[in-house]
Amino acid sequence: MASLSAAINMARQLGRPATIRLTAGVWREKPVVDVPDLTIVGDGATSVLTFGAAAGLRRPDGTRWGTGGSATLTVAAPGVTLRNLTIRNDFDYLSDLSSGASGGAQAVALSLAAGADRSVVRDCAIEGYQDTLYVREGRAWFEDCRILGGTDFIFGGAAARFEDCTIVSRAIPGPIAGFVAAPSTPAVQPVGLVFHRCRLERERGLADGTVFLGRPWRAGGNMALTGAAAFIDCRMDAHIARSGWTAMGYTAPDGRRTELTPQEARLVEHGSRGPGAAPAADTRRMIDRAAAAALLQATDITNWRPRG
């Protein structure tokens, strides 16, 4: 096949579960996986799927991409598995940081969009700067992945488990260099983003104490969203700020500009270690082993059941 998009189109015609092999090389395209139970397998880090779109840049039709539309790879069907791939948004974020030319630097590498559920991502590199990984909805399992970014680079409302992943904060200049997670979890949903046995690392040149574990995203001022995220048995380098979490601003339904604080959201830790770990604080709440085990059980892949 000449492209991954062409292979996805062929798989759609089969009408049954299928596997696509993405060979080594740089594949510059912007596919959408809308075929249920599709597996895409690469040859490892050398199978690179990349594109360079950002929210403020214009599509060929003249409209702007927007955050979700900027994604290099979009998953919009249940039961999709990705393995042994590099998924990258190569938008030049650092140049845009000084010029502001894009008008919106959110540049997603992988989006689990509307329709995604029971997504599995293993042994993949997911690379970007701002909004690298958008886990919008559904349930997702990430294992042995390497995720690179800066601002809110793992975000969304899904119930997503990150198992044994390496989370790398990129070297962005400034007193605040980034935020790892930005959960927008519905209040009625018991779990959001759960990081288990992950390693929070940094690129060379990123200063100590300049990255927050995250901030709760009340997308669109939706008051029904109270972001949930948990770091369980994770190792954190010294780039993580001692306060751990911070607030995120939003516009309330009455037009008032305000913010959702860590204390109002569901942002917790258990068993953190390393130089970025810190004692319990008002903004850095610790949970006990039983509560941590409940979150792990709720996001265990063996608990998934097919829809319908």
Count of all residues that appear for the chain in the document: 308
Q: How far apart are CA 260 and CA 124, in angstroms?
A: 32
Q: Does domain 4-301 have CATH number 2.160.20.10?
A: yes
Per-residue pLDDT, averaged over 281-296, amounts to: 94
User: Is 208 an active-site residue?
Assistant: no
SS3 content of the chain, % helix, strand, coil (to 5): 10, 40, 50
Beta bridge partners of 163: 143, 196
Of the chain, the percentage scoring pLDDT greater than 70 comes to: 98
Among the listed residues 152, 164, 282, 288, the single catalytic one is 152
What average pLDDT does the segment 50-54 reach? 97
Q: Quick: pLDDT tens for 137-146.
A: 999 999 999 9
131, 144, 282, 300: which one is catalytic?
Answer: 131
Please say whether the beta carbons of 178 and 153 come within 8 A.
Answer: yes
Q: How many CB atoms lie within 10 A of CB 210?
A: 20
Residue 174's pLDDT is 86
Look up the pTM and report it: 0.96
Which residues, at least 6 apart from 185, have a Cβ–Cβ distance to it below 8 Å? Answer: 157, 159, 191, 192, 193, 225, 226, 227, 228, 229, 266
d(CA 138, CA 191): 11
Tens digit of each residue's pLDDT (9 = 90 or more) over 247-287: 999 999 999 999 999 999 999 999 999 999 988 778 899 99
Domain ranges of the chain: 4-301
Residue 60, classed as helix, strand or coil, is coil
Do 165 and 195 contact (CB within 8 A), yes or no?
yes
Question: Active-site residue 117, yes or no?
Answer: no
The strand pair at 248-251 and 257-260 is best described as: antiparallel
